[in-house]
Structure 1
Amino acid sequence: MVPNEQRSRGSWARKLGLLAVIVLAVAAVWWWLGGTSKPRTAAGPPTVPVVVEQVSRRDIPHLIRGIGTVQSLHSVVVRTQVDGLLTELAFKEGQRVNRGDLLARIDDRAIVAEVEQARAEKARNEAQLHAARIDLERYGNLVRDEAISRQAVDQQKAQVAQLEATLRANEATLAAAQVRLSYTRITSPVTGRVGLRRVDPGNVVRTSDAQGLVTVTQIDPIAVVFSLPQEELPRLQALLREPAAAPVTAFDRAGGAVLAEGRLTMIDNQIDPTTGTIPLKAEFPNAEGTLWPGQFVTVELKAGESQGATVVSARAVQRGLQGSFVFRVDESKATVVPVTVAYADDELAVVTSGVAPGDTVVSDGHSRLKAGSAVKISPPAGGAAKGASR
């Protein structure tokens, strides 16, 4: 019996040893996996990083932008009105000239001779008319004395009338010759800047030449023609009734640098049916020549102003099925607030209801937001968060 008891005790010892090994292994795994650390608390909903801004109150001008083309108010192709040899060009290309300044001369010797001939013919006929009138007066005295017949008096009256008509024709011929002579001296019809000359002295110029001698273009003042959507027509008509209330600013094509400031002068008499826009014209003082004919510019028209308006940035306003809304931040949570937008452009929106100055609204990070979302305020890329500003 002793050997059996020894074998039984050995079996129990092995079982106890195996159990101890298992317990040690479990303890080691539990320690390795952090079983000794404190239990984790349940995680809440994730916060959404957003950029915010403060709702502000200030005056906001209502601005409408478009693309326009600079046009001269007067551009004239100077042509000769008589055929002849061009003897002189009295300007330099690109020179600024005034109305009436001499631009060119044409050989006038033949026309001067025509003028002198017309004057001589007129003088001859004036002398004949003077003599005929004296004879008519003498005939009148003789007919009263019955020294000559009534027929002779009537013939003399007819001769006087004929000479008077001839004299009027002489005066017309002389006037026409003097006009032709004036055409040999070509002057500027407008105040402006001359372009490239198209003919040189020594060439024979003709009235049939299509290209002319040179172009004179008025630079100051100057106009810009641009188009706006037809929906703006009622506001534009109201502005045109008070021209002083329709200021227009011309920028460079990129819309950055201010080139000139002027005013709206006219609205075209019809809307372009292909584009649904209406052409407009604005006039600008241009003493410095910052605007040039043919130049493309960005035009900004002030169509009104909201004074003391509640303002947010345009990117803060979102649009849904129920209309416009913003996310207002209250105690680190986003609240959906419907708003009414009275005016908006690419940068700002004027809000008439929904938010008040001083409220905090989300300006960036809307894609992951919903009503009640917890938010984490992040600074904008340019620095600390600020209110909407131009």
Structure 2
Amino acid sequence: MYFYLKKIFLLLFTILLLGCNDEGNSNFSMEQQEIEVGYITLKKEEVPLQQELSGRIKAIYKSEVRPQIDGIIKEQPFKEGSYVKKGDILYVIDSDSYEAIYEEALATLKSSEANLITLKLKNERYAESVKFNVISKQEADDTKAAYLQAIALVEQNKALVKSAKINLDRTKIKAQVSGFIGISNYTVGALVSQNQTNALTTIRDTTKVYVDLSQSNNQLFKLKKLNKDTMKENDIDVNIILPDDTIYKHTGKLKLQEISVDEDTGYVTLRAEFPNPDGELLDNMFVNTIIESGNSNAFLVPQQAVTLDAKSNYIVTTIQENNTIQTKKITVIRAIANKWLVTDGILQTDKIIIEGLNKINEKSIVIPKDVNNLYENNLKEEMK
């Protein structure tokens, strides 16, 4: 029995040893096996640099209409949604109490002015009389002081009249800018106050509008570096893609960028300005835009030829003279259709593997196959 078990154990050990040798030979053969791969070579192209960014329309001038006094709305002369001009009356607040205050202030002013005349004449008489000792110097000084107080009182009453007039004028709430007026949040008969937080309505001048866009700081830095010699300040065109996927008929200009990066998102705000003569662009409308950022002499690499390494770097795999392979780290700016815009890491002489990437590893020996013509023909078919 012992002899029988020993024989079985030796047999199993021999089979296991042979299996390990076969696996080693298999791995060796895979590493040394010549694998056919397809490659392409690329030339630099003059590529227009375009970015698609999302943003919101902002009216250049937006005026929130609020009352500056307390009172009840008596009239609302404007039509909601219409175009109003600067200075047009929008609301009329009950003015009876403000008229009374104004008239009272006027009456007080007139009374103080009449008193001033009397004290002025008296001061002049006393000033002469004191020279001949007709009155005491104390009486003359008291009269002069009363005269000066009367002058001050007149000035004070003038200020009260001016203040009362301002409040009376504020019973007519006027448009501060020209533009389209929105829906009124208050109706005739409503009580309003100067400290309220809610606006009565809003006027928006949308003959020109801003579009505020957001772009990642990293992307902005790359593009600035790429086209620093080709772009001029305020020379960047921007086009809007409308909600129906058509292009807005007027081209805008990129005007400025925020001077800091949002610490929460890592994005920078860009602002473009557009003409809007027909009022087609509405305040707060969400739009997509295409920014023309100039041209760049770069490579367009098919995305199927690009992979990521362990550190998430973009790489391509190239064929060497001895038919071994080499991976090269590349600088990708952005995607254009099904290609990557690459500015660094590639030479025009590089044979870039585009077919068979999944069959090879770093030790593979390859059989190169030029597929440039086949690849170009496939592109033409896709474009039809």
TM-score (norm 1): 0.68
Aligned to 1:346: 335
Matched, 1:292 2:286: no
| Residue identity in the other structure for 1:383 | E
Pick one of 223, 240, 247 that aligns with 2:210: 223
Inter-partner Cα distance in structure 1 for 2:115 and 2:315: 96
1:59-70 superposed matches below 5 A:
59-70=46-57
Deviation at 1:56?
A: 6.6
1:373 alignment counterpart: 369
Q: Is the 8 A contact 2:43 2:348 kept in 1?
A: no
2:116 partner letter: L
Give the aligned residue type for 2:334: D
Q: Which moved further from structure 2: 222-231 or 168-177?
A: 222-231
Match of 1:4 in 2: none
For the 8 Å contact 2:36–2:368, the answer to whether it is kept is: no
Out of 256, 261, 266, the position equivalent to 1:265 is 256
Distance 1:247 1:235, change over 3 A: farther
Do 2:234 and 2:253's aligned partners in 1 also have CA atoms closer than 8 Å? Answer: no
| TM-aligned CA deviation for residue 195 of structure 1 | 1.0
- Percentage of pairs with the same residue: 23
The DSSP-based 3-state class of the residue aligned with 2:300 is strand
Q: Classify 1:236/1:77 alpha carbon distance in 2 versus 1 (closer, same or farther; 3 Å).
A: farther
With normalisation by structure 2, the TM-score equals 0.69
Q: Which residue of 2 aligns with 1:18?
A: none
How many residues of Structure 1 are paired with residues of Structure 2 in the alignment?
Answer: 329
One-letter code aligned to 2:283? P
Listed one character per residue, the Cα deviations across residues 260-316 of structure 1 (whole Å, up to 9, x for unaligned) are 52213231534233x33233333333223333222222233344432xx35535447
Alignment partner of 1:160 is 2:160: no
Q: 2:239 matched to which residue of 1?
A: 249
Q: Which amino acid aligns with 1:228?
A: Q
Letter in 2 for 1:272: E
Unaligned runs of 5+ in 2: 1-33, 361-365
Q: Bigger shift: 249-258 or 377-386? A: 377-386
Q: Deviations over 1:81-118 (max 9, x none)?
A: 22223222222111122332221212223322322221
Asked whether the equivalents of residues 40 and 370 of structure 2 are also in contact (C-alpha less than 8 Å), the reply is no
Q: Superposition pairs for residues 95-244 of structure 1, below 5 Å?
A: 95-232=82-219, 234=221, 243-244=233-234
Cα 1:71–1:367 change in 2 (3 A) is: farther
Within 1, Cα distance between the matches of 2:224 and 2:162?
A: 50
Relative to structure 1, the CA distance from residue 374 to residue 350 in structure 2 (aligned partners, 3 Å threshold; closer, same or farther) is: closer
Q: Distance in 1 between matches of 2:223 and 2:135?
A: 84
Matched, 1:87 2:74: yes
Q: Tell me, yes or no, if the aligned pair for 2:80 and 2:183 is still in contact at 8 Å.
A: yes
Deviation string 1:29-53 (CA, Å, 9 cap, x unpaired) is: xxxxxxxxxxxxxxxx9999x9x99
1:38 aligned residue:
none
Q: Residues 198 and 63 from structure 1, CA distance in 2 versus in 1: closer, same or farther, beyond 3 angstroms? A: same
- Is contact 2:47-2:298 (8 Å) kept? no
What secondary structure is seen at the aligned counterpart in 2 of 1:207?
A: coil
- Asked whether the equivalents of residues 314 and 331 of structure 2 are also in contact (C-alpha less than 8 Å), the reply is no
Deviation string 1:110-140 (CA, Å, 9 cap, x unpaired) is 3223222211211121121122111111111
Distance 1:62 1:193 in 2: 37
The one-letter code of the counterpart of 1:286 is: N
Residues 108/147 of structure 1: CA separation in 2 closer, same or farther (3 Å cut)? same
Amino acid in structure 1 at the alignment position of 2:276: N
